A and B are shown apart, each in its own frame.
Chain A
Amino acid sequence: MANASHFKIVIDVDIVQRLGTFDLAVSFKAEAPVVGLFGRSGSGKTSLVNALAGVGGQRRGHVIVNGETLFDDARGIDLPPERRRLGYVFQDDLLFPHMHVEANLLYGFRRAALSARVIEPQHVIDLLGLGGLQRRYPGTLSGGEKQRVAIGRALLAQPRLLLMDEPLASLDIARRDEVLRYIELLRDDLHIPIVYVSHSIAEITRLADTIVLLAEGRAIAVGAVEEVMGRLDLRPQTGRYEAGSVFDTTVVAYDPKYALTTLRFEGGELIVPNVEALAGERVRVRIRARDVSLALHPPIGLSIVNVLPATITAIDDQGGPIVEVQLRLGNVSLRARITRRSRVELGLAENQQVYTLIKAVSFDRRSVGYA
């Protein structure tokens, strides 16, 4: 399941565009199998994706993907969308209502050069579980099915990467998880790089390796997910409630008696509820800052199973009732939210050795996914 480095996007973007009263001026370079574009509504995510795809208005700057210049106004290069080979998946499925599922799936496939047809229709149908839907019309499909057909249609156009703009936003919660599993699956099976746009931390952290944080039409941070999400100074953009940390681990053991999986990373071992992964597989975990407690000494007689030594690297005390503490465990950075009273009573300070306590039950389905 390792999404190893043998597939990735190298993307170099510099876009300036005026859209009514909104100014888009995004510039970043990223290199990863899955690049996440994260930002609040109105931060310019969709405008940026449109710029990559080559739709929607005049702009200046350049877009270079894997060494190929798709757009460069200074050099007079502006490939039309049909020649950029970016599989755009929209928030709404946007299936062609007058065509059945098969015709939708094959729309781009038929336009792709014969030599470029690497991704086979039957493979996509099997992978996305679309068997039996081929003769149905979009109007008769469920939301999850429609979005899966839309993803399959984009894949079959043989794109160099998938551009997914909030592909789960129009689905209900149950369908979201279903489609997210399929996206993980195609990433691991087809090794197709993805630019994944979302305002949901949970989705971004489950899928992305590198994250581009957007705010008010600017890219304000680019880097590894755990690095950007862990930065206290970006909290106004990443959000207080969702604050947490993300890192990759390896499955070492599964205890069938209690249905618990043991995960290892450089900072120690974690015991979490069964994640349905085999020993040796890479699994990404996300730990919310509010699920992490701190102790000065290893506690005894406690129900919390994960007790890991750590070093305090920063404390964000804004004078309110809650204080955020940044910790380092091996190469992993972790955030903890505690009351200011606890901080004072324990006398916590930077560079201090502490013990982090993480409840195993705080790892839910949505916070553990394949890396």
Chain B
Amino acid sequence: MLSMSDTELGIIVLSLKVAFFSVALSLPVAILVAHVLARFDFPGKTLLDAVIHLPLVLPPVVVGFALLLLFGKHGPIGAWLNDWFGIVIAFRWTGAALASAIMGFPLMVRAIRLSISSIDTRLETVARTLGGSRTWVFLSITLPLAIYTFVQSPGGDAQATRLSLIAVVLSIAALITSEWLTRRTSKS
């Protein structure tokens, strides 16, 4: 009853692969952008903020269409990737990873920006006076503290981590159940 066919297993592996690569692709950029938005003021900040939020406010069809135009085989970026690296994005798992990365990007930036903003900037100042360069302070203080405060936020302890893990387990369970139900219905 719980045994899965190769197709189902393939679907799960594909989902995990898409999820992994979309996060791997977007996380470093999201951290950088979130840090810039949280800590610096510059002309055009509002505009940058708006552009980052576009995938969140635009209908998904519009985002999809734009991605297709840019990354399709004949799109400016898609053609270049294909010519130079032989990478085809459109209608492959790579395309799915890219699309998820773009769609998830605003949410990622928001969460990281919030936790960076909640860090006492004086901690970074102390670290500088102790001899840390800007980059080192970011890596040793800002980034770990952003993760630390993110994990510690509600209730101030590991409760949030536990809830996140439960959410992950529940999602996977839901996925497996739905796959299993789909198989049952298609058989009958």
Contact = CB atoms under 8 A, between A and B. Distances in A.
B128 A157 contact: no
Contact of A55 (B123, B125, B144, B145): B125
Contacts of B127: 96, 107
A111 B123 contact: no
Contacts, number: 57
B141 A82 contact: no
A363 interface: no
Interface in A308-349: none
Contacts of B130: 82, 87, 107-108, 111, 153-154, 157
A94 interface: yes
Contact of B131 (A55, A90, A112): A112
Contacts of B123: 94, 96
Interface residues of B, number: 18
A86 B122 CA distance: 15
Interface of chain B: mostly helix, strand, loop or mixed: helix
B129 A96 contact: no
Most B-side CB within 10 Å, residue of A87, A94, A153: A94
B145 to A, nearest CB: 6
B79 to A, nearest CB: 45
A97 B145 contact: yes
Contacts of A61: none
Contacts of B128: 55, 80-82
B120 interface: yes
Interface in B9-56: none
Interface in B95-130: 120, 122-123, 125-130
B51 to A, nearest CB: 30
B132 A94 contact: no
Contacts of A90: 122, 126
A86 to B, nearest CB: 6
A88 interface: yes
A53 B127 CA distance: 12
Given A90-B122, A94-B122, A81 B148 contact: no
A81 B121 CA distance: 14
Contact of A107 (B132, B133, B145, B148): B132
Most buried by A among B123, B127, B130: B130
A56 B145 CA distance: 22
A257 interface: no
A107 B141 CA distance: 10
Nearest to A139: B156
A82 B132 contact: yes
Nearest to A154: B130
Interface string A24-38: 000000000000000
A240 to B, nearest CB: 34
B72 to A, nearest CB: 45
A306 B125 CA distance: 50
A98 interface: yes
Contacts of A53: 129
A108 B131 contact: yes
Nearest to B120: A94
Contacts of B145: 96-98
A93 to B, nearest CB: 9
22 contacts: A80-B128, A81-B128, A81-B129, A82-B130, A82-B131, A82-B133, A84-B129, A85-B131, A87-B129, A88-B125, A88-B129, A97-B145, A98-B144, A98-B148, A107-B130, A107-B140, A108-B130, A108-B132, A111-B132, A154-B129, A154-B130, A157-B131
State the 9 A-B residue pairs at the shortest beta-carbon distance, nearest first.
Answer: A108-B130, A111-B131, A81-B128, A88-B129, A98-B148, A157-B130, A81-B129, A82-B131, A94-B126
Given A53-B129, A81-B125, A88-B126, 7 more contacts: A55-B128, A80-B128, A81-B128, A84-B129, A108-B131, A111-B136, A154-B130
